[in-house]
Amino acid sequence: MHKQTALITGGAGFIGCHLCEKMLANDYKVICLDNFITGNLENIKPLLKNRNFRLIVHNVSNYIDIPDKINYVLHCASLASPIDYLDFPIQTLKVGSLGTHNALGLAKEKKAVFLLFSTSEVYGDPLEHPQKESYWGHVNPVGVRGCYDESKRFAEAITMAYHRVHGLDTKIVRIFNTYGPKMRHHDGRVVPNFIFQALKNKPLTVYGKGEQTRSFCYIDDLVEGIYRLLLSKINEPVNLGNPNEFTIMQLVKLVLKISGSNSKLVFNPLPQDDPKQRQPDISKAKKLLGWHPAIALEVGLKRTISWFRK
């Protein structure tokens, strides 16, 4: 039997490369598209030897022309770290809007299933807690995070339009804070920042008083949820994340304990529009996908710290 083919945009990024591995392990052919604006060739280097894997260096904000038969389009390409979308706001808006349009057009042409990688940022600085999929969010469109939040909100809207108008089988995953091996040490997001700083015995950079909360999901849990969603019949958005909520100061303590570091703390100003709290309501994923995260923060941090040590 012929293998099915999955095209993964942003396949050399943190989540993308884990998904490439997951799809190959489940006997799919994988075509990875990446322009390496934040992707990392090291992430996929071991896969380049696999004859079921192909890398195409391409910016998906430009027209995507692939002759192969494609069964699944996973649109993962995005700048996902606040420091990256502050540095590249226009590219962030383009990949969320034009890139999503191109990826949808490709899926339509190939009669493929389409999966959009959306984000908890569509909820902005949420007034409803925890966040259910039915919550419409509290986003500042003209703030510094607007380029990311609004491009993902547009991406969700155009995905639903392709579903309604063209009957495309589309899925939308709203991803909450995820961490694990293969994040860049200079990624800027809180888990790799703290781990890198702790291992170098440099001060941990806490923004604000560290009272803001996040709920951290280990990458293997997330990827399993995404795979289940891809094969499901669900077309409405689904939250995936770990509902265990921590303050940033609790995260500091855990990272210092597990790494055995003597790092001090430095308190920097809280970035503009930084959400004060975030916790996914995952009842939909539990009920419809039979999914729930299995890896506790302490366990996931241990694995991530030992990867960073190497």
- Minimum Å gap between C-beta 207 and ligand UDP is 3
Residue 209 and residue 206: Cα distance in Å, rounded? 7
Q: Considering the rule CB under 6 A, would residue 272 count as an interface residue with ligand UDP?
A: no
Site map 146..185 versus ligand UDP, x via CB under 6 A: -------------------------------x--------
- Minimum Å gap between C-beta 249 and ligand UDP is 9
- Minimum Å gap between C-beta 130 and ligand UDP is 15
Catalytic residue among 123, 148, 218, 227: 148
Q: Which residue, 154 or 207, has its beta carbon nearer to ligand UDP?
A: 207
Place of tokens 């293998």: 3
Q: Considering the rule CB under 6 A, would residue 190 count as an interface residue with ligand UDP?
A: yes
Size of the site for ligand UDP (CB under 6 A): 15
Under rule CB under 6 A, which residues in 194-223 are in contact with ligand UDP? 205-207, 210, 212, 214
Crossing angle between the packed helical segments 248-259 and 297-309, to the nearest 10 degrees: 50
Q: Which residue, 26 or 201, has its beta carbon nearer to ligand UDP?
A: 201
Residue from 43, 189, 218, 234 touching ligand UDP (CB under 6 A): that is 189
Q: Which residue, 162 or 216, has its beta carbon nearer to ligand UDP?
A: 216
Q: Which residue, 101 or 124, has its beta carbon nearer to ligand UDP?
A: 124
Residue 255 and residue 38: Cα distance in Å, rounded? 25
Residue 58 and residue 287: Cα distance in Å, rounded? 37
- Count of residues for the chain? 310
Q: Considering the rule CB under 6 A, would residue 304 count as an interface residue with ligand UDP?
A: no
Query: What strands, in cross-sheet order, belong to the sheet with 5-9?
Result: 53-57, 29-34, 5-9, 72-75, 113-119, 170-175, 237-240
Q: Considering the rule CB under 6 A, would residue 274 count as an interface residue with ligand UDP?
A: yes
- 148 as an active site residue: the answer is yes
Name the percent of the chain in helix, strand, coil, to the closest 5.
40, 20, 40
Q: Considering the rule CB under 6 A, would residue 242 count as an interface residue with ligand UDP?
A: no
- Minimum Å gap between C-beta 119 and ligand UDP is 8
Q: Considering the rule CB under 6 A, would residue 143 count as an interface residue with ligand UDP?
A: no
Place of tokens 């339509």: 108
Find out whether the peptide bond into 275 is cis, omega within 30 degrees of 0.
Answer: no
| Beta strand pairing call for 29-34 and 178-179 | unpaired
- Minimum Å gap between C-beta 168 and ligand UDP is 29
Residue 254 and residue 304: Cα distance in Å, rounded? 13
Residue from 271, 302, 303, 308 touching ligand UDP (CB under 6 A): that is 271
Residue 49 and residue 265: Cα distance in Å, rounded? 43
Put residue 213 in one of left, alpha, beta given phi > 0 → left and psi -120 to 50 → alpha. beta
Residue 210 and residue 198: Cα distance in Å, rounded? 16
Cα atoms in the Cβ-side hemisphere of radius 13 Å centred on 126: 24
Binding interface with ligand UDP (CB under 6 A): 82, 177, 189-190, 193, 205-207, 210, 212, 214, 248, 270-271, 274
Catalytic residues, by residue number, are 148
